[in-house]
Structure 1
Amino acid sequence: MTTPLLGCDFSSAPTRRKPIVLALGTADRGRVRLERLEKLESLAAFAAWLAEPRPWVGGFDFPFGLPRELVEHLGWPTQWRECMRHYAGLTRPQIRETFAAYCDARPPGGKFAHRRFDKLAGSSPSMKWVNPPVAYMLHAGVPLLLEAGVHLPGLHAGDPARVALEAYPGLLARECIAQRSYKADDKARQTPERLIARKDILHALEQGSTRLGLRLKLTHAQHEALVHDASGDSLDAVLCLMQAAWAAQHGAPSYGLPADLDPLEGWIVSA
């Protein structure tokens, strides 16, 4: 029996217009089949979905940890669970003020602290509170994973049937189309060039021409829906699904994560 897979494009403040998007699928012999997309319009709906006792391996597009350098500088707990508990107890204004003060005291060009793999993955520092506000995504998302009792390899032992991994769609998208932009929330920036870029990403995924070595299987209707979602949220969920499939192929206990990952910072799957 194949393990159900999921890719999650997350929002820290989901709405009907900008929901959390889940791409659900399965993998068999190197082919990843997208079964459906689900859209969740609130964090409560996301929490309820996570808590259901069905098995899955999932890739979630939000940070699972903060940079060790930052945590140590602030004197916060350096055990992951205690650090996340402390972080969850802060308000967003407190987070912004704390991180802004940290950045203000640092030299130009080195304002943010980074996790060890950020440069490797091309990901934003997880302490960034604007464009994109990944610090708030961590603040909204990780407590819900903990509350649901899921397993986070390398960070926290939970239900081994529900495995949550940090994913990053930009890592896989760049492998397909280099630095070209493929999405925009703002209607004025939803250009034909970005539509072509989404088509090119899907072509690469369907051909299996990424280092994941997996081929995406879509129906014609699914392909069209992914191409025409100009926000890129549906495509991002599918990119996370592909990373989850790669992790599931590697299996327990590490799901393809490196043996020397920092148990405070975590790691982006397939980076």
Structure 2
Amino acid sequence: MSGAGRRRSRVVIGVDFTSAPRARKPLTVATGRLVAGARAAVYRLDAIRELTTLAEFDALLREPGDWLGGFDLPFGQPRPLIEHEGWPTDWQRFVRFYCGQPRESLRAVFRRWCAGRPAGDKFAWRKADKPAGSSPAMRWTNPPVAWMMHAGIGRMLDAGLSFPAHRVAGRGEARHRIALEAYPGFTARQVCRRSYKSDTPAMQTAERRANRRLILDALVAGEAGLDVRLDVSAAVARRMIGDGAGDLLDAAICGLQAAHASLQHRYGFPRDLDPLEGWIATVPVP
């Protein structure tokens, strides 16, 4: 039985990742504990911090202590693309290969793939992407999730983390730091199908603010399709609602998704899980 079922708490982090963190667009980390509640498991959010460099992200991954983490970046690319290009099909070898390639080379591969396919079917997709409603992992612009993977997953592998969706046990003390791929948009859409965030200040409207409040209220009430509800202070809740970019809310959702997955058998992965592609936490098997 998982941590909450044993009446023990477990540290859970949620990471809203960006490939180029800076003061105006930091990498956002939610930290809390998964504990048993009277009627349901609870993710008690302790803190949210903002990292402005990838070096700070490296340091986060190596901080002492065990945790479970939900990270909003692709952990893999579509198998059809990988096999078409003759890239390594062992996940660890593929990560080393992919993160070692110049972006220009990868961009050329992506463009060549898309150029040879009809409108409406340009991209290759992982098995989890369409059920999640996420962008294809090979997308290099708007949003540039391919570069998020390029900047982040190699660092995570170097840190010795465990990746259960890829059947990789970690190294040394870091083996008890467990990384799951998260996608906050999936959970947010269980509550509200309307936009709740924008990186453009002029588009950070009152309507989007109201949508963030709606989503947060559902997370706190345990009405967002998860087996875990959110416990957050009034002060942090105000920050989440006021954050027009949605980064604080997204980081908390990443933590919630990881917490929910930890309560499922085999993290809720499909029986025919492809360890090259992995899976996104909380996304149901089609």
Structure-1 separation of matches of 2:100 and 2:199: 30
Q: 2:187 aligns with which of 168, 172, 176?
A: 172
Q: Which residue of 1 aligns with 2:9?
A: 2
What is the Cα deviation at residue 250 of structure 1? 3.2
Please state whether the residue corresponding to 1:151 is helix, strand or coil. Answer: coil
Structure-2 separation of matches of 1:40 and 1:250: 31
- What does the per-residue CA deviation read over 1:216-241, in whole Å, with 9 as the maximum and x for residues that have no partner? 11111011010001010011001101
- What does the per-residue CA deviation read over 1:18-57, in whole Å, with 9 as the maximum and x for residues that have no partner? 1100000012121111100011111111011101231000
Q: 1:23 aligns with which of 12, 19, 30?
A: 30
- What does the per-residue CA deviation read over 1:98-148, in whole Å, with 9 as the maximum and x for residues that have no partner? 111111111211110000121111011000000100000000110011110
Alignment of 1:240-251 (within 5 A): 240-250=254-264
**In the alignment, structure 1 residue 201 sits paired with structure 2 residue 215:** yes
1:150 partner amino acid: L
Please state whether the residue corresponding to 1:185 is helix, strand or coil. Answer: coil
CA contact under 8 A between 2:16 and 2:71: conserved in structure 1? Answer: yes
**In the alignment, structure 1 residue 79 sits paired with structure 2 residue 90:** yes
**In the alignment, structure 1 residue 124 sits paired with structure 2 residue 138:** no
Alignment of 1:188-227 (within 5 A): 188-227=202-241
Structure-2 separation of matches of 1:154 and 1:270: 12
What is the Cα deviation at residue 94 of structure 1? 1.3
What is the Cα deviation at residue 259 of structure 1? 2.7
Please state whether the residue corresponding to 2:43 is helix, strand or coil. Answer: strand
Q: Which residue of 2 aligns with 1:262?
A: 274
What is the Cα deviation at residue 248 of structure 1? 2.6
Unaligned runs of 5+ in 1: none
Structure-1 separation of matches of 2:72 and 2:61: 15
Q: TM-score, normalised by structure 2?
A: 0.91
2:148 partner amino acid: M
**How many residue pairs are counted as aligned between the two chains?**
268
Alignment of 1:88-167 (within 5 A): 88-155=99-166, 156-158=168-170, 159-167=174-182
Structure-2 separation of matches of 1:85 and 1:139: 10
1:257 partner amino acid: F
2:20 partner amino acid: A
- Point out 4+ residue stretches in structure 1 off by more than 6 angstroms: none
Q: Which residue of 2 aligns with 1:185?
A: 199
Please state whether the residue corresponding to 1:4 is helix, strand or coil. Answer: strand
CA contact under 8 A between 2:10 and 2:35: conserved in structure 1? Answer: no
Please state whether the residue corresponding to 1:81 is helix, strand or coil. Answer: helix
CA contact under 8 A between 2:228 and 2:260: conserved in structure 1? Answer: yes
What is the Cα deviation at residue 160 of structure 1? 3.3
The percentage of aligned residue pairs carrying the same residue is 49
Structure-2 separation of matches of 1:165 and 1:259: 17
What is the Cα deviation at residue 247 of structure 1? 2.1
Please state whether the residue corresponding to 1:119 is helix, strand or coil. Answer: helix
What is the Cα deviation at residue 15 of structure 1? 0.3
Q: Which residue of 1 aligns with 2:45?
A: 34
Q: Which moved more, 1:131-140 or 1:88-97?
A: 88-97
1:12 partner amino acid: S
What is the Cα deviation at residue 210 of structure 1? 2.2
Q: TM-score, normalised by structure 1?
A: 0.96
2:281 partner amino acid: V
CA contact under 8 A between 2:188 and 2:224: conserved in structure 1? Answer: no
1:110 partner amino acid: D
Please state whether the residue corresponding to 1:255 is helix, strand or coil. Answer: helix
Unaligned runs of 5+ in 2: 1-7
